[in-house]
Amino acid sequence: MSDLRRSQLDRFFSSDDKLRDFKKPKSGWVKEIREALGMSLHDLADRLGVIKQNINQLERNEVSGKLTLASLEKAAEALGCELVYFLVPRAPLQSMVEEQALKSAKEIVKMTNTTMGLEDQTASKKSQELLEKKLASELLLKKDRRIWRSK
């Protein structure tokens, strides 16, 4: 992903804090919308070409997190709705990338320091920290894939 696109996404998500506060209803969106429309289980079942028990199962699956996006999209269409699907990052994407780069750099430095320790050549804590920061910057600059190998 380009740095520009990451920056654009960070601006989009930071511009509307309402996205983070928006939670699905306890009964799920399908049931919430269906009931708000005054539509019965039978009515929705007819629109989807299924039996009423399938709608009960669909609504339970939504609440339990077992509903597929394809099923949710069909239900949304039958309810006259549009399915909008996206992920909201918990932190700015740039911060996440920088944090992950530092984490990876620490692992790389730790492995190197372990090897050096076997030869009685370990670096001081201060020099390790400086090396970790420098390596993290290099990983970011080069868009090194090793950033995402550590968890």
38: exposed, middle or buried (C-beta count within 10 Å: 0-12, 13-18, 19+)? exposed
Give the per-residue pLDDT at 120.
Answer: 54
What pLDDT does 116 receive? 54
The yes or no reply on domain 16-78 and CATH 1.10.260 is yes
- What tens digit of pLDDT does each residue of 34-54 get? 999 999 999 999 999 999 999
The count of other CB atoms within 10 Å of the CB of residue 44 is 23
Q: Which helix (H) or strand (E) covers residue 5, if one does?
A: helix 3-15
Max mean pLDDT range (1-5, 43-47, 86-90, 116-120): 43-47
pLDDT of residue 119: 52
Predicted confidence at residue 22, as pLDDT, reads 76
pTM of this prediction?
0.72
Say if residue 14's pLDDT is above 70. Answer: yes
Asked whether the predicted pLDDT for residue 130 surpasses 60, the reply is yes
- pLDDT-derived band at 63 (thresholds 50, 70, 90) equals very high
Look over the chain and give the mean of its residue pLDDT values, rounded to a whole number.
Answer: 88
What pLDDT sits at residue 126? Answer: 82
The CATH 1.10.260 domain(s) of the chain lie at: 16-78
